[in-house]
Amino acid sequence: MDTRLHNSAFLKACRGEHTDHTPVWLMRQAGRYMAEYREIRAKTTFLGLCKTPELAAQVTLDAQRILGVDAAILFADLLPILEPMGFTLTYEEGEGPKIHNPLRTRADIDGLKAPDPRQSMPFVGEAIGIIRRELPADIPLIGFAGAPFTLAAYAIEGGGSKNYIHTKTLMLGDAGAWRRLMEHFTRQITDYLLAQIEWGVQAVQLFDSWVGCLSPEDYRDHVLPWVRKVIAAVKGKVPVIYFGTGTATLLPLLFNSELKTPNSEPDVIGIDWHTPLQRGWELGAKSVQGNLDPVCLFAPREVVLRKAGEVMQAAKGRTGHIFNLGHGILPKTPVDNVRALVDFVHGAGS
């Protein structure tokens, strides 16, 4: 790895090392709140944007350049990995993703395909190649994938859900089928992340967006072992960030010494705004990412900076803090507030 990348503030923070300033990047930093993104998005569908390397690269690069953040994150989505497995995926305007043939039975699980992402998703590799060539030499690129439970929940429910009835029914009612499904998704996710590393990303984030719907016991018994398998397969190659929402009661299990398997803890734990930032270090994390409430960015500028200052104060005196939001930037967020936030974090020291 180029020494400029190795010594970047973001990667140093991932390793728990001292940095001259607190690195900052923001989930969904490329999105509808930016005029530049809307202009590109108007040319194609959302899935078309994800699958067109030049356009995916452009929105990735635009966000890093406009905001001045310390890392770029690949513009993609959690769900296109499902298409090569046999799912029919569309993105409905105003409704989000929809899977038209949701998985409900053992036969559905047995019929899943297991293609190599290097062959089935070449557009991701092409986008990473373009981005890496165009990014400044000291700016890392983050790749990502959905975690096994979150991908399974999308595949089973067929879209958004409030209660995850179908997912929990399968998980709790048919242990053998659930295990086969988790094995399948764990292999596919691992292969996908390893491919992204081969293609040129410097870190990866595992998104467990829906895992907060689980009780600690169900997370421990049915989900955590598979999260650990993905992390263990990737860790050591690049830093691994694990992020979920509503995880306040789940994080202690992630760092529970009695549940550990070798090299299965994330390098960085992402914290949402429901959980105090310092809780990550208290649990034993080396590095912590988070955790400003993204809705704060709609408030007057002075409020945004005050709330950001509270996050910075929570990390004061600790190494290994990566400033981020507690979830992704929302549509219609004022861009000037986002820029001011990044400037504030950079100016506040480490």
> How does pLDDT run across 200-226, given as a tens digit for each residue?
999 999 999 999 999 999 999 999 999
- For 306, what's the count of Cα atoms within 13 Å in the CB-facing half-sphere? 5
* Pairing assessment for the beta strands 96-99 and 89-92 based on DSSP bridges: antiparallel
The predicted-structure confidence for 291-332, as pLDDT tens digits, reads as follows 999 999 999 999 999 999 999 999 998 999 999 999 999 999
Catalytically annotated residue among 28, 132, 228, 279: 28
What the block records as the tokens of 155 is 């595949």
Read off the amino acid at residue 108.
Answer: D
Query: Is there a catalytic annotation at residue 242?
Result: no
Task: Output the pLDDT for position 170.
Answer: 97
Comparing CA positions, the residue from 56, 33, 29 lying closest to residue 44 is: 56
Task: Output the pLDDT for position 120.
Answer: 98
Query: Is there a catalytic annotation at residue 15?
Result: no
Query: Is there a catalytic annotation at residue 104?
Result: no
Mean pLDDT score, 91-115 = 92
Query: Is there a catalytic annotation at residue 154?
Result: yes
What's the CA angle centered on 296, arms 203 and 136, to 5 degrees? Answer: 30
- As a residue count, the chain comes to 350
pLDDT band, residue 55 (cuts 50/70/90): very high
Task: Output the pLDDT for position 86.
Answer: 97
Does residue 97 carry a pLDDT above 90? yes
pLDDT band, residue 5 (cuts 50/70/90): very high
Query: Is there a catalytic annotation at residue 28?
Result: yes
Task: Output the pLDDT for position 350.
Answer: 57
Mean pLDDT score, 66-88 = 98
Catalytically annotated residue among 154, 192, 219, 242: 154
Task: Output the pLDDT for position 256.
Answer: 85
Mean of pLDDT over the chain: 96
pLDDT band, residue 258 (cuts 50/70/90): confident
**Domains located in the chain, CATH noted:** 3-252 (3.20.20.210)
Task: Output the pLDDT for position 100.
Answer: 96
Q: CA torsion 283→288→132→36, rounded to 10°?
A: 130
Task: Output the pLDDT for position 1.
Answer: 79
Catalytically annotated residue among 15, 32, 180, 220: 32
pLDDT band, residue 90 (cuts 50/70/90): very high
Task: Output the pLDDT for position 261.
Answer: 80
Task: Output the pLDDT for position 131.
Answer: 98
Task: Output the pLDDT for position 349.
Answer: 61
What the block records as the tokens of 177 is 């089928």
Task: Output the pLDDT for position 299.
Answer: 98
Task: Output the pLDDT for position 337.
Answer: 98
Task: Output the pLDDT for position 92.
Answer: 82
Does residue 274 carry a pLDDT above 70? yes
The predicted-structure confidence for 139-191, as pLDDT tens digits, reads as follows 999 999 999 999 999 999 999 899 999 999 999 999 999 999 999 999 999 99
For 123, phi then psi, to 5°, come to: -60, -30
DSSP designation for 244: E
Ramachandran area for residue 92 (φ above 0: left; ψ -120 to 50: alpha; else beta): beta
Catalytically annotated residue among 15, 65, 77, 104: 77
CA dist 118 and 116 (Å) reads 5
